[in-house]
């Protein structure tokens, strides 16, 4: 998806959709466009279905997953006991290997993180993985593959992430290009309304 298409999607679904839409420059640009185009007009109110659809699309495009994948995650989430369906859905989304690589700071976008995983740059518990959707769990160790460490992507990684803050459920050792899953992810993303997404699938 090119930059123009991403900007259009962000205008429709919200700035949190893609990393390119989360810059101050983009926010200022969109605010200016809104002032010059709305001219005092009130936006049309969405129906409940319309709201649910938008929230579902936010999740799909944010994580870069298909309709079928999201539907499968919802099915699994509804069968788990001991936690809310929304929490389990969020856990599955965050525990994708491509998302973990993105959260650790190895890639500036989830799309690039997906490419890194697909090209076999990462090892999970001693075994190379090329599956972006692979689920990681507490205790799993994710490291950069030995043969990939000389790549410019990972060169001087510790310096690149010195000011980066990764999630508390992940423990990163930048110098060793190694990380461990130490807890379950918690949904602190106000941008994603997962309960509304679940309402869409319960129709």
In this structure, the answer to whether residues 85 and 137 fall within a common structural domain is no
- Helix 194-201 and helix 48-63: axis angle, to 10°? 110
Most confident of 15-29, 74-88, 178-192: 74-88
| pTM higher than the cut 0.85 | no
pLDDT tens across 68-114, in order? Answer: 999 999 999 999 999 999 999 999 999 999 999 999 999 999 999 99
Residue 100 lies in a domain: no
Q: How far apart are the first and last CA of the chain?
A: 30
Residue 38 lies in a domain: yes
In 94-169, at which residue ranges do the beta strands (DSSP E only) sit?
Answer: 122-124, 127-129, 141-144
In this structure, the answer to whether residues 158 and 118 fall within a common structural domain is yes
Residue 202 lies in a domain: no
pLDDT (average), residues 110-135: 98
Q: How many domains does the chain have?
A: 2
Looking at the predicted structure, is the pLDDT value of residue 31 above 60?
no
pLDDT (average), residues 11-38: 57
In this structure, the answer to whether residues 58 and 132 fall within a common structural domain is no
pLDDT tens across 131-175, in order? Answer: 999 999 999 999 999 999 999 999 999 999 999 999 999 999 999
Distance CA 111, CA 18 (A): 10
Residue 96 lies in a domain: no
Domain of residue 120, residue span: 106-181
pLDDT band at 39 (very low <50, low <70, confident <90, very high): low
The dihedral sign for the CA sequence 29, 30, 31, 36 = positive
Residue with tokens 């389990």: 88
Q: In terms of DSSP bridges, do strands 170-173 and 127-129 run parallel, antiparallel, or are they unpaired?
A: unpaired
Residue 177 lies in a domain: yes
Token pair listed for 86: 């929304």
User: Strand, coil or helix: what is 176?
Assistant: helix
In this structure, the answer to whether residues 29 and 79 fall within a common structural domain is yes
In the DSSP assignment, the letter for residue 22 is: S
Q: The domain that contains 36 carries what CATH number? A: 1.10.1050.10
Residue with tokens 């983009």: 26
**Percent of the chain whose predicted confidence (pLDDT) is above 70:** 77
In this structure, the answer to whether residues 79 and 125 fall within a common structural domain is no
- Residue that is last in its domain, among 91, 115, 131: 91
């Amino acid at each position: 998806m090119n930059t123009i298409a991403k900007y259009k999607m962000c205008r429709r679904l919200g700035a949190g959709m893609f990393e390119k839409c989360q810059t101050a420059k983009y926010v200022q640009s969109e605010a200016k466009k809104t002032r010059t185009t709305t001219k005092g007009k009130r936006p049309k109110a969405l129906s409940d279905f319309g709201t649910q659809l938008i929230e579902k699309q936010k999740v799909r495009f944010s994580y870069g997953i298909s309709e079928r994948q999201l539907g499968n995650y919802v099915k699994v989430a509804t069968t788990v006991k001991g936690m809310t369906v929304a929490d389990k859905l969020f856990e599955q989304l965050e525990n994708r290997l491509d998302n973990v690589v993105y959260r650790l700071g190895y890639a500036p976008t989830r799309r690039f993180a997906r490419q890194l995983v697909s090209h076999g740059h990462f090892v999970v518990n001693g075994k190379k993985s090329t599956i972006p959707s692979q689920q990681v769990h507490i205790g799993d160790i994710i490291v950069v593959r030995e043969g990939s460490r000389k790549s410019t992507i990972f060169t001087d990684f510790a310096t690149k992430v010195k000011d980066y803050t990764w999630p508390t459920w992940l423990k990163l050792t930048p110098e060793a290009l190694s990380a461990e899953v130490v807890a379950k992810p918690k949904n602190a993303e106000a941008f994603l309304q997962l309960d509304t997404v679940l309402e869409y699938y319960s129709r």
